[in-house]
A and B are shown apart, each in its own frame.
Chain A
Amino acid sequence: MQVTVKLFATFRTGRFDIAQVEHPAGTTVGGIVDALGIPREEIGILMVSGRHADLNERPAPGDTVAIFPMVGGG
């Protein structure tokens, strides 16, 4: 399946901002994160198509997976 992966802040360094990524159907968010070489403990926020998700969620084909480190502001 193809999903859109968006990376933000420090996670972009040496990777990309946005990319279409191919994974076997049923791949979890955690699997997508691991394939990018992002240490799981550095993750702050995960969203699948605009909704908060956890590492065990399985995106559907065409979903957008957004991966953020811990961020804040205000």
Chain B
Amino acid sequence: MDTILRIDMGAPGGPKASTEPVGKYAGLGGRGMTSMIVADEVDPLCHPLSAANKLVFAPGLLAGTAASTSGRLSVGCKSPLTGGIKEANAGGQAGMALGRLGYAAIIVEGQPPGDDLWKILINKEGVSFSVDNSCRGLGNYDTVAKLSKIHGEKCAYMTIGQAGEMKLLASSIACTDRELHPTRHMGRGGVGAVMGAKKIKAIVVDDTGTAPPQSKDPSAFKTAAKAWVEGLKRHAVTGQALPAFGTNVLTNVLNEAGGYPTFNFKQGQFAGASKISGEAQAQLETDRGGLATHGCQRGCTIQCSGIFHGKDGKYVTKQPEYETVWSHGGNCGIDDLDAIAQLDRMDDDFGLDTIEMGVTIGVAMEAGVVKFGDAQGAIRLLGEVGKGTPLGRVLGSGAGVTGKVFGVERVPVVKNQAIPAYDPRAVQGIGVTYATSTMGADHTAGYAVATNILKVGGFVDPLKPEGQVDLSRNLQIATAAVDSTGMCLFIAFAVLDQPDTFQNLLDLLNAHYGLALTGDDVVALGKKVLSAERSFNARAGFTVQDDRLPRFFEQEPVAPHQATFTVKPEELDTVFNW
């Protein structure tokens, strides 16, 4: 993990690769790596789809090792959706494969002339490029099926679907899971469009013939890795609830708390919630011969995912996540798990962010394009995106654009990125994170839901403004640090509640790299990453006025609590004071 791979797609005579030492970026992984490089190297005023933007991939610090749940892969760039800095990350197999190949980061820059699409193969011999137009216009499923016939089933595939090729603002980059399904997406902010602008259809990562990265202190690493798994298994969330019910266990919780945005954020509870809850979903998956417990990558002990089969008992998609079940389900008034699974499959295939697309369809429903609750109508609209019709291109450009095109006032976005599955009026801490995150509305950037609703890491009353700024600040710092290790964020449930498990994480990093990190160093790392991201956004033109929720959250009370968002703007401006 001491090498950075630099790929110039616009080099004279065709794309070229070179390597350089990790240098000043040593000790950074995941989001820490992508954000520091983007902040250093990308002109904040560049057009996100121009040759001047860069697409930076970074596995976690422990990627490819035996440490459980360490294989998230981050991608960073200037976002075409928000116009600010972006980091998106995914599970799947690619992160671990890049770790075994020894790459701390891959920086993709420039833009090739012409219309040809390129395929990049990375293996232990190095990097090779080829023009490959055979997958042009194909979705991620067909693309991976075609490529895996050539490169085999042991590679990890990172691909874009039609949405990325069309450079749509909601487009994602897909990573394959253990079964070679392109179901794990670096989803948010239009990262697929940046890959499409660089004319890359696929990156094939082949780690054949490589060994796991060697630890400086193998014996200490082994001990820490064992304790780490034990800690994750011991906690009720990472050891029981997530494996059994997946992320969608939250549907009933948020609905009960009145924080489940329904009918495009018009109400906080959905009458059909129990039909699409994690409990109902797990039962349906088991009944149809799918799986309610499944890991998106090798070696993860949490196994929060699953496999969703249709009525015919055949594979449709991976277990749709809570965010997806909400965005395409409750947010659109749809209470049909089969329709939601179909929409999830289409998002994965076209290469689209499920949060952005569900919220976008909700906005289109508000405009009357189709009616709330019309599942077939929603499937038809999403189909337009895959086909690239003019309507589809509008929808594929996200909720903000769609709201403007159809003249809708209630458009739930911050920095033009769709707000996820927690109403900020009934969960005020997450509202602070939505408003102030460098990423645009992003629940993962500082998951105050844990403390507001789930009573993990303490309790702060979700309906009151008091304490929310401090909560969001601390979580945003901790999250930036966790994201920089490349660990899956779900470890935070165990790490927040169990001091010995937090220590195990430090022990893993210290044993692997020969360091002596403490908790204070982790906090300092989180602040450093956030400061670099804030600096990029300021240079891109963002001001404090961009750190605000849409006005309707302050003005329209949401049932059942009749709550409005009451954290004051001047308090929001203190989130990054430390």
Would you list which residues of chain A between 32 and 71 have a CB under 8 Å from chain B?
42, 44-45, 47, 50-52, 66, 68-71
**Residue in B242, B258, B279, B462 whose CB lies within 8 Å of A72:** B242
Q: Is the CB of B253 within 8 A of A68?
A: yes
Asked if residues B456 and A74 are in contact (CB atoms below 8 Å), the reply is no
Name B's interface SS. helix
CA distance A66 to B258 in the complex (A): 12
Q: In the assembly, what is the distance between CA of A69 and CA of B444, in Å? A: 22
- Are A66 and B447 closer than 8 Å at their CB atoms? no
In the complex, what distance in Å separates the CA atom of A9 from the CA atom of B243? 11
Q: Is the CB of A50 within 8 A of B236?
A: no
Contact assessment for B454 and A45 in the assembled complex, using a CB-CB cutoff below 8 Å: yes
Tell me whether A52 and B459 are in contact (CB under 8 A).
yes
- Asked whether A10 is an interface residue with its Cβ less than 8 Å from the other chain, the reply is yes
Smallest CB separation, B410 vs chain A (Å):
23
Q: Does B129 contact A (CB under 8 A)?
A: no
Known A9-B245, A45-B455, A50-B257; judge A74-B449 contact (CB<8 A): yes
B449-A69 in contact (CB<8A): no
B300 at the interface (CB under 8 A from A): no
In contact, B236 and A73 (Cβ under 8 angstroms)? no
A74-B447, A74-B490 known; A44-B250 Cβ under 8 A = no
Write out the residue numbers on chain A whose beta carbons fall within 8 Å of the beta carbon of B238.
72
Interface centre among A12, A44, A47, A50 (most CB of B within 10 A): A50
Which among A9, A12, A66, A74 has the highest number of chain B CB atoms within 10 Å?
A74
Tell me whether B459 and A71 are in contact (CB under 8 A).
Answer: no
Query: Which residue of chain B lies nearest to A66 when distances are taken between CB atoms in the complex?
Result: B256
Q: Count the A residues whose beta carbon is within 8 Å of the partner chain — how many?
A: 21
Q: Are A69 and B247 in contact (CB under 8 A)?
A: no
Which one of B253, B461, B489 contacts A8 once the chains associate, using CB atoms below 8 Å?
A: B253
Question: Which of A9, A10, A45 neighbours the largest number of chain B CB atoms within 10 Å of its CB?
Answer: A9
Rounded to whole angstroms, the CA-CA distance of A10 and B323 in the bound complex is 21
Q: B541 at interface (Cβ–Cβ under 8 A)?
A: no
| B164 interface contact, C-beta 8 A | no
Residue contact B459 to A73, C-beta cutoff 8 Å? no
With contacts A69-B241, A73-B248, A74-B490 taken as known, whether A50 is within 8 angstroms of B456 at the C-beta atoms is: no
Contact in complex: A70, B237 (CB < 8 Å):
yes
Which residues of B sit under 8 angstroms from A70, Cβ to Cβ?
235-237, 240-241, 454-456
Q: List 25 A-B contacts (CB under 8 A).
A: A8-B253, A9-B241, A9-B245, A9-B278, A9-B279, A10-B244, A12-B279, A42-B236, A44-B236, A44-B455, A45-B253, A45-B453, A45-B454, A45-B455, A52-B461, A68-B253, A69-B241, A70-B241, A70-B456, A71-B236, A72-B490, A73-B246, A73-B248, A73-B304, A74-B322
Closest 9 CB pairs of A and B: A73-B247, A70-B236, A72-B237, A71-B241, A73-B250, A72-B493, A66-B256, A50-B258, A71-B249
Which residues on B are within 8 Å of A, measured CB to CB?
235-238, 240-242, 244-250, 252-253, 256-258, 274, 278-279, 304, 321-323, 443-444, 447, 449-450, 453-456, 459, 461-463, 489-490, 493, 560-561
